[in-house]
């Protein structure tokens, strides 16, 4: 394994770690903001609110997949 592949593996791990951390942060933000005043309306809207807080994590994951495919295609050409 050459140094470029090692850097790509580290970079990939950092992207996935960022996705997980953003996902956990979104759930934590939901709990901190809405748990103290939780009622039936928040219960009904909670799936939508949680999904909105997960958007940054999903975006980073999508970008990671695109980057991973580009690296894979680049390695297959070489």
The yes-or-no verdict on residue 34 having pLDDT over 70 is yes
For 24-45, what is the mean pLDDT?
86
pLDDT at residue 78, as a whole number? 62
When pLDDT is cut at 50, 70 and 90, the band that residue 21 belongs to is: very high
pTM of the predicted model over 0.85: no
Q: For residues 13 and 67, what is the distance between their CA atoms, to the nearest angstrom?
A: 12
The yes-or-no verdict on residue 19 having pLDDT over 80 is yes
CA atoms within 13 A on the CB side of 66: 6
pLDDT at residue 24, as a whole number? 92
Q: For the chain, how long is the longest CA-to-CA vector?
A: 58
pLDDT at residue 7, as a whole number? 76
Chain position carrying tokens 């090692």: 6
The answer to whether the beta carbons of residues 15 and 59 sit under 8 Å apart is: no
The answer to whether the beta carbons of residues 3 and 11 sit under 8 Å apart is: no
Q: For residues 59 and 77, what is the distance between their CA atoms, to the nearest angstrom?
A: 27
């Amino acid at each position: 394994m050459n140094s470029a592949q090692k850097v790509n593996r580290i970079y990939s791990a950092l992207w996935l770690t960022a996705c997980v951390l953003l996902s956990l942060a979104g759930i934590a933000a939901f709990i901190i903001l809405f748990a103290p005043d939780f009622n039936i309306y928040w219960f009904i809207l909670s799936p939508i609110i949680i999904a909105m807080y997960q958007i940054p994590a999903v975006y980073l994951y999508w970008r990671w997949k695109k980057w991973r495919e580009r690296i894979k295609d680049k390695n297959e050409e070489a």
